[in-house]
Amino acid sequence: MADDLLVARGLVVSYGRRAAAPVLHDVDIRVGKGETVGIVGESGSGKTTLGRALLGLVQPTAGSIVFDGSDITAVDEHARRSLRRRMQMIFQDPMSSLNPRHTIGRILIEPLLLHGLADNRQAARALVHNVLDRVGLPRNAVDRYSFELSGGQRQRVGIARAVVLRPDFVLADEIVSGLDVSTQAQVLRLLKELTGEMHLALAFISHDLSVVRSICQRVVVMREGRVVEEGACERVFSAPQADYTRMLIDAIPLPVVDPGWLNRGSAADTSASA
Ligand SMILES: Nc1ncnc2c1ncn2[C@@H]1O[C@H](COP(=O)(O)OP(=O)(O)OP(=O)(O)O)[C@@H](O)[C@H]1O
Ligand SMILES: [Mg+2]
């Protein structure tokens, strides 16, 4: 098992009034170094809330979150700044998370300067060229605006913006749900390659279990703010222990195949029609 990178224990999160009913109840989750962990569950089960809590974007009312040995719920501003580089997020909708008034170049260069990963613009530009090459975007994308790109290209920019900071942990929340199936596959393949190359830990939130199965090593199943099952991806999919997990798996739509497709254009073969 990989060494621990991020370990949350007993997380309780409520929105609004403290006394309001919590949306996360006593959640435990662990992400190992370089590991991809899927977080699944139906809408409203608390996946996004859990992800935001892991990044320190919502404050839990109870529990601890330890990132690489330090409790991030109790760090000073200086430590938080370095954590902000080491923990990145890729958003569901890059159209609303990429500033439409800034070029892609500016969107990628500014965080590099802010976090001190490049001493000057020229050095930052060189890092940006490398990351554009790596995510499969042309270098002249630096002069374009997000609205001039396709959905798949925009999501590549979202990935580039996260990985260019050389984080240890990335949270991806429903990042392929707005894309067509073949673009989804390309983006997932890229993400899988990058996590391997960069030894990047990934928490991958999705309501689409077949996507999770294709990319994750472990999976956490959430229901109504609790973890109902957790385990190696293959085990959870082949032998789910919780009824709820079984129900989610049974709800994965089977590929719709027209039974006649194989024979089209070869009228000679009638044996497959039974
Ligand atoms: N900012 C907020 N203020 C108040 N309640 C919220 C807020 N965000 C989420 N909730 C509530 O918390 C619960 C969990 O929501 P969350 O967004 O974490 O679910 P999710 O699993 O990500 O759902 P989805 O699959 O639809 O994205 C829901 O009942 C939701 O209404
Ligand atoms: Mg969500």
158 belongs to a structural domain? no
pLDDT of residue 272: 44
CA distance 80 to 186: 33
Q: What percent of the chain has pLDDT over 90?
A: 77
Residue 143 reports pLDDT greater than 60: yes
Task: Among 49, 211, 221, say which to mutate for ligand 1: greatest number of ligand atoms within 8 Å of CB.
Answer: 49
Overall average pLDDT of the 170-186 stretch: 93
Please name the residue that has the structure tokens 């959640």.
27
The minimum-distance atom of ligand 1 relative to the CA of 49 is 18
Indicate the average pLDDT of the chain: 91
The minimum-distance atom of ligand 1 relative to the CA of 45 is 21
Helices 151-163, 121-135: axis angle to 10 degrees equals 130
Helices (H), 16-150: 47-54, 77-86, 94-97, 104-114, 121-135
Please answer whether residues 68 and 168 qualify as being in contact, where contact means their C-beta atoms are separated by less than 8 angstroms: yes
Task: Among 48, 54, 93, 248, say which to mutate for ligand 1: greatest number of ligand atoms within 8 Å of CB.
Answer: 48
Task: Among 13, 24, 27, 47, say which to mutate for ligand 1: greatest number of ligand atoms within 8 Å of CB.
Answer: 47
Atom 18 of ligand 1, residue of closest alpha carbon: 46
pLDDT of residue 268: 47
45 belongs to a structural domain? yes
Overall average pLDDT of the 21-39 stretch: 96
Residue 217: give its domain's CATH number.
Answer: 3.40.50.300
**Structural domains counted in the chain:** 1
Atom 8 of ligand 1, residue of closest alpha carbon: 49
264 belongs to a structural domain? no
CA of 142 to the centre of ligand 1 (A): 35
Residue 21 reports pLDDT greater than 90: no
Q: How confident is the model at residue 96 (pLDDT cuts 50, 70, 90)?
A: confident
Q: Which residues crowd ion ligand 2, with CB under 5 Å?
A: 47-48
Atom 14 of ligand 1, residue of closest alpha carbon: 46
202 belongs to a structural domain? yes
Domain coverage including residue 30: 4-95+170-251
CA of 192 to the centre of ligand 2 (A): 21
149 belongs to a structural domain? no
Residue 216 reports pLDDT greater than 50: yes
Please answer whether residues 73 and 57 qualify as being in contact, where contact means their C-beta atoms are separated by less than 8 angstroms: no
Find the range with the poorest average confidence among 62-66, 132-136, 138-142, 248-252.
248-252
CA distance 134 to 166: 13
The 10s digit of each residue's pLDDT in 103-125 is 999 999 999 999 999 999 999 99
258 belongs to a structural domain? no
DSSP codes, 193-211: HHHHHHT-EEEEE-S-HHH
Residue 64 reports pLDDT greater than 80: yes
The 10s digit of each residue's pLDDT in 219-247 is 999 999 999 999 999 999 999 999 999 99
pLDDT of residue 16: 83
Residue 1 reports pLDDT greater than 80: no
pLDDT of residue 160: 97
128 belongs to a structural domain? no
List, chain by chain if needed, residues with CB within 6 Å of any ligand 1 atom. 15-16, 23, 41, 43-49, 207
CA of 121 to the centre of ligand 1 (A): 39
Residue 273 reports pLDDT greater than 90: no
CA of 198 to the centre of ligand 1 (A): 31
CA of 46 to the centre of ligand 1 (A): 6
Residue 15 reports pLDDT greater than 70: yes
108 belongs to a structural domain? no
